[in-house]
Copies of this chain bind each other. A is one copy, B any other.
């Protein structure tokens, strides 16, 4: 696909994802970690304006002198910005003005693309444009998780969209295929190559490619299902300190965790909020919206453990990147099936850190990934909310271990 077409497609997809929501819906910020839809629409645009247009088209005027303060997420190198938890208090610019902002930047980007002559400045700009597309895809997933949080905590549990695609209806829990028993695939010990080899796009944190030694291990062929997680719950999993990391146990106590996020009991049945509203928990679906601490406690209870990110990558390296991604428009996991990708991100046992030889790029874009390499855990595999084509076997997602609002689940490993 030509770059201009990719640009248009990615930008249009973000707009399409926001379309079912009213301007009011798009302003909701349910917690500081989550951002309003409108903010996602504007921030991704600011990214192109700041990092692509400003250097490539120096006489391009910024759309609005105040937008940098509002829509800069965390780039210290670019200037001050509004306190994160106040993003939801911004009624101005309006959604209509944000859409105008998008169009204005899109026009300028397209003009530049039509006129670029391939010199070194343009080549740098093109590389950043590609980064911006991957960045926008990441925000497409965040947009959905943040919308889910914003709507799911409203008393009426409203659905994200009025018309639910057929695929979702046929995936209703009672008609789901039963997930088979957990089978483990065995891997020999040995030296493996980890990280991206530099061919095609990858984020900086995926490299440099390097060698690692892995002991022999086994990895489950599918993620943990809700049925299995319910067995943990019924076995008092949330009440037995010995199953938990100390920090996780503190969260259980302080926040009263008794089930995954979005689960609630109605008339004796476990229901879960989905982007299409409240419905019964699908027993054969991968469990989602668990924290690293819950994943870790479940694994301990199950006599297993979480895989390291190297183990996960070893297993994923030799297969295709296929699975249930967001192009299904279903936005909820289906029945658990074999495969490394899709449905739910999988918490690993690996703290998020730099690979050997990693050096963040110079400049503000060096803040993209590197400065977050503390107190977070790596997740792998993508989810039903991840744009198709966005993932790679080397892709490293990361969130704090207590985070639950992402589409995060569990894959088990064990020593061979």
Interface with B: A42-50, A115-123, A135-143, A347-355, which one?
A347-355
Q: Does A58 touch B at the CB level, under 8 Å?
A: no
Q: Does A191 touch B at the CB level, under 8 Å?
A: yes
Nearest chain B CB to A217's CB is how many angstroms away?
Answer: 8
Once A89-B88, A241-B76 are accepted as A-B contacts, the answer to whether A356 and B27 lie under 8 Å apart by CB is no
**Inter-chain contact A247/B375, CB cutoff 8 Å:** yes
Q: Does A246 touch B at the CB level, under 8 Å?
A: yes
Q: Does A200 touch B at the CB level, under 8 Å?
A: no
What residues on B are CB-neighbors of A349 within 8 Å? 353-354
What residues on B are CB-neighbors of A189 within 8 Å? 211
Q: Does A263 touch B at the CB level, under 8 Å?
A: no
Interface residues of A in 27-58 (CB under 8 A from B): 27-30
Q: Does A245 touch B at the CB level, under 8 Å?
A: yes
Interface residues of A in 380-416 (CB under 8 A from B): 401, 415
A24, A95, A158, A212 pick with most chain B CB within 10 angstroms: A24
**Inter-chain contact B24/A27, CB cutoff 8 Å:** yes
Specify which of B89, B94, B244 is in contact with A30 (CB 8 Å cutoff). Answer: B89
The 0/1 profile, CB within 8 Å of B marked 1, for residues 82-101 of chain A is 10001011111011000000
Q: Does A124 touch B at the CB level, under 8 Å?
A: no
Interface with B: A147-155, A162-170, A330-338, which one?
A147-155
What CA separation (Å) do A120 and B304 show in the bound complex? Answer: 30
What residues on B are CB-neighbors of A292 within 8 Å? 374
Specify which of B89, B211, B244, B305 is in contact with A213 (CB 8 Å cutoff). Answer: B211
Nearest chain B CB to A405's CB is how many angstroms away?
Answer: 14
Q: Does A339 touch B at the CB level, under 8 Å?
A: no
**Inter-chain contact A89/B153, CB cutoff 8 Å:** yes
The 0/1 profile, CB within 8 Å of B marked 1, for residues 59-86 of chain A is 0000000100110001011000010001
Q: Does A204 touch B at the CB level, under 8 Å?
A: no
Interchain Cβ contacts under 8 Å between A and B, 22 examples: A24-B27, A24-B92, A24-B95, A28-B89, A30-B89, A66-B155, A69-B155, A76-B241, A91-B151, A210-B215, A212-B212, A242-B366, A242-B367, A245-B371, A245-B372, A246-B374, A247-B375, A248-B374, A293-B374, A351-B351, A351-B353, A375-B401
Additional pairs, 6, CB under 8 Å, beyond known A22-B91, A91-B150, A248-B374: A24-B24, A76-B242, A77-B241, A89-B150, A245-B371, A357-B415
Residues of chain A at the chain B interface (Cβ within 8 Å): 22-25, 27-30, 66, 69-70, 74, 76-77, 82, 86, 88-92, 94-95, 150-151, 153-156, 158, 189, 191, 210-213, 215, 217, 241-242, 244-249, 292-293, 305, 349-351, 353-354, 356-357, 366-367, 371-375, 401, 415
